[in-house]
Amino acid sequence: MSVSPVKRQKMESVLDQLKHHTTVVADTGDFNAIDEYKPLDATTNPSLILAAAQMPAYQELVDDAVAYGKKLGGSEEEQIKNACDKLFVLFGAEILKRIPGRVSTEVDARLSFDKEGMIQRARRLIDLYKEAGIGKDRILIKLSSTWEGIQAGKVLEAEYGIHCNMTLLFSFAQAVACAEAGVTLISPFVGRILDWYVANGDKKTYEPSEDPGVKSVTKIYNYYKKFGYKTIVMGASFRNTGEIKALTGCDYLTISPKLLAELSKEYVKLTPTLSVKEAQACELEKIHLDEKAFRWHHNEDQMAVEKLSDGIRKFAADAIKLERMLKVDVISCCLLPPLVFLSSTAANLQFLVVWLRIRNL
């Protein structure tokens, strides 16, 4: 239903109304989008950083990260790893200049089944933020919601005071385990759940209230509020604005710039669908999951098993692409000084071909 221009002037946009009921988070590494939509928090991941790092506007950050990796020295692999960590922190630090809240920075998805590796990498990222003058209270460390990731989050929260955002969350079992671990925040993926049901079922369209992803987050929210868990529920990975509006009242929602733009241009009355009062009235049973029970219950959810493994692979693939991009810059820095001393263009080109073969590129 269209709204008259006069009423539109008096009415807030759907995005502004949403901010009254839910903390709006920007799911992007693009500073311009953050400046435009003024979210409280922002989230990043390897895919978003990879996309942003390829934009000319952010080349200076890439150059700074490469220079940092080279400065620390070590093997080429070590330099690239250090450059990647630094790049994530440089983007995070710039984002924090534009928001009043926290930024989420993700640990390498290839560590998803390595509890100690995740703890070490998380502490390293926090140290890098500290070097940049940013305290850990403004950072959420993103970890995959595997059993190992959840236990890493438990240790980071309890022993180091590092706040964690558990990502790639698709099953109720994952949500229960995260609550019991006492992590700060979870990110259940709404749109990817919908994707799976559309791809694997006969039904291809869903009303927002019947959307499988919306129903999953609603159940998790109600469970957390009924049993008094402090862990924040942040719906993520939306496919359309209908999903977002159907979760109005959820603690946090992290939204892409495209959907933020759509919400900012829509003028209809927005009614909260989730509330603590209604959650506490729900008939839900409290459960406890040890490792064996977690693995069994999660395994019983085919969608969650497939989407978790798929999500880890995709984030890992983008991390590898980012490393390759930085590797080119690192090697370029190594190549330039010797080339300057060669006598001709032909000699330079011949040297470059031989050098690249040696480096297996």
Query: Which residues does the annotation mark as catalytic?
Result: 142
Let me know if 38 is exposed, middle or buried by CB neighbors in 10 A (0-12, 13-18, 19+): middle
Distant-in-sequence, close-in-space partners of 189: CB < 8 Å, separation ≥ 6 = 167, 168, 169, 170, 213, 236, 237, 307, 311
- In sequence order, the 6+-apart residues with CB closer than 8 A to the CB of 212 are 193, 194, 196, 197, 206, 303
Non-local (6+) Cβ contacts of 25 within 8 A are: 39, 40, 41, 42, 43, 234, 252, 253, 254, 255
Pinpoint the alpha helices (H) of the chain.
5-10, 14-21, 31-37, 46-53, 59-72, 76-96, 115-131, 147-160, 172-181, 190-200, 212-226, 241-245, 257-264, 276-280, 291-299, 302-340, 345-358
208 close to 246: Cβ distance less than 8 angstroms: yes
Tokens of residue 135, six digits = 């305290």
Residue 304: DSSP 8-state: H
What is the rounded distance in angstroms from the CA atom of residue 52 to the CA atom of residue 31? Answer: 9
In the three-class reduction of DSSP (H, G, I as helix; E, B as strand; rest coil), residue 20 is classed as: helix
Using alpha carbons only, how large is the chain's radius of gyration in Å?
22
d(CA 40, CA 218): 22
* Alpha-carbon gap, residue 237 to 195, rounded angstroms: 10
Could you give the angle at the alpha carbon of 193 between the alpha carbons of 233 and 13, nearest 5°? 60
Q: CA–CA separation, 102 vs 40, rounded Å?
A: 8
- Answer for the pair 176, 284: CB distance below 8 angstroms, yes or no: no
